[in-house]
Amino acid sequence: MKPSIFDLSHDELKKILTDNKVSGFGATQIFDWLYKKWEFNPENWSNVAKKTREFIQEQYSTELNKIVWNGLSKDGTRKFLVKMYDGQTVEAVAIPARDRLTLCVSSQVGCAVGCTFCHTATQGLKRHLKTGEVVGQYMSVQQWLFDNVGPEEKLTNIVYMGQGEPLHNYENMKRATEIFLHERGLGLGQRRITLSTSGLVPAIEKLALDFPPVNLAISLHSARNDVRTEMMPINKVYDLDRLFAAIKKIPLKAHRRITYEYLLADGVNDTMEDVVALAELLNSKESKINLIPFNEFPGSKYKRPSEQKIMWFLDQMIKRGFTCTIRTTKGSDILAACGQLKSEYDKVNLWNKDEGPVVIPSIANNVVQNQTTR
Ligand code: SF4
């Protein structure tokens, strides 16, 4: 199988073309065709030398990943199942909000981190996604939206919050980010990309050295080590002291803050003790807190707190000077949970070409999370 052209950064493509004695200038033209003109057939790259086009056709695949299923929620959220070249599938979710259309992409097939509130964790890690498979989720979904919704349906933001721990797949996510940001690539602004991590400390320490500067979200979920370890076994290895020692080394540009994701689970991390610990741990000027009320699923060990409790927690953090928001659950009426989504799709053919996605009520009614809550 040929490697994907979407695996390559601009500089890598330029070097490959130069090393193989075809024009290095072709890299810029090829990037223009792929990422600006959305033309994936090398035969139509009219300003690229024939020798260069032939070289690309022989050595690389320019095909997009296939969307094998999609579902539309009442709130406008669209979930896509994207098939990789080896038949593995991952999910990507397009989430509309005011003037934005954010794509939540996956970084791995499955995940090794094992958070106890997450369906993806039950799959274990199958493999890392390649750079081209991360970029490919964006390209395939955008192409699908252009073809099926209209040219105005443009993705504007990306979050790395789908299946997988992005920093466990560091090099591929770094290269994908370079392509998302590169002026000859997709040209997205740094503030339009958010990397979310469960707290892989060695990789966080490396971020400041060589990862493109994008927004950072940390999945905290508790400011108490014992509770965090129960929810996220990674805390046994990289506890709060180690995590925050690494975070403090990240140089924050003026007016930029780190977002802390906090999944609220009834009776687990939503008490006054938790409020106090959280307020002591975080600096209100450098942090934003995003509360995510837990959405139950069959077999889940946690419960969603009452609305009153959620509002109480929010109020407590705001009173203490924090910028604190509640993430609204989107896409709860479509098949939406990580892991469960994928395994159920494998068993049945859910795609009806003429009528669109077929929803199986027994699954749809049970599924609540629209993305991992790392
Ligand atoms: S929440 Fe994220 S890091 Fe944790 S197991 Fe799920 S996919 Fe992995």
pLDDT confidence of residue 368: 27
Q: Looking at ligand 1, which atom is closest to the CA of residue 108?
A: 7
DSSP letters along 130-157, please? PHHHHHHHHHHHHHHHHHHT-TT----E
The CATH number given to 66-364 is 3.20.20.70
Could you say which of 3.40.640.10, 1.10.150.530, 3.40.50.620, 2.40.100.10 is the CATH number of the domain covering 5-59? 1.10.150.530
Query: Are the C-beta atoms of 179 and 6 separated by less than 8 Å?
Result: yes
Query: Are the C-beta atoms of 79 and 105 separated by less than 8 Å?
Result: no
pLDDT confidence of residue 255: 54
In 10 A of CB 113, how many CB atoms? 22
pLDDT confidence of residue 122: 77
pLDDT confidence of residue 180: 97
pLDDT confidence of residue 299: 76
What is the DSSP secondary structure assignment for residue 200, as one 8-state letter? Answer: -
What is the DSSP secondary structure assignment for residue 33, as one 8-state letter? Answer: I
Measuring from each residue's beta carbon to the nearest atom of ligand 1, which residues come in under 6 Å?
111, 113-115, 118, 120-121, 163-165, 198, 372-374
Q: Looking at ligand 1, which atom is closest to the CA of residue 161?
A: 2
| Calpha distance 334→313 (Å, rounded) | 28
pLDDT confidence of residue 356: 34
pLDDT one digit per residue (tens) for the chain, 374 residues: 899 999 999 999 999 999 998 876 799 999 999 999 999 999 999 999 999 999 999 999 999 999 999 999 888 999 999 999 899 999 999 999 889 999 999 999 999 999 998 878 878 899 999 999 999 999 999 999 999 999 999 999 999 999 999 999 999 999 999 999 999 999 999 999 999 999 999 999 999 889 999 999 999 999 999 999 999 999 999 999 999 999 998 887 755 799 999 999 999 999 999 999 999 999 999 999 999 998 877 778 899 999 999 999 999 999 999 999 998 766 655 544 333 334 344 333 332 333 333 332 222 222 223 345 55
Probe ligand 1: pick from 90, 118, 201, max atoms within 8 Å of CB? Answer: 118
pLDDT confidence of residue 350: 31
User: From ligand 1's centre to the CA of 236, what distance in Å?
Assistant: 15
Catalytic residue among 104, 111, 324, 338: 338
* Residue 111 bears catalytic tag: no
Q: Looking at ligand 1, which atom is closest to the CA of residue 197?
A: 3
Kindly report the protein residue whose alpha carbon is nearest to atom 4 of ligand 1: 115
Pair of tokens at residue 143: 């192409």
Pair of tokens at residue 204: 């966080």
User: From ligand 1's centre to the CA of 294, what distance in Å?
Assistant: 14
Query: Are the C-beta atoms of 38 and 143 separated by less than 8 Å?
Result: yes
Domain ranges of the chain: 5-59, 66-364
User: From ligand 1's centre to the CA of 320, what distance in Å?
Assistant: 29
Catalytic residue among 63, 91, 115, 296: 91
* Residue 91 bears catalytic tag: yes
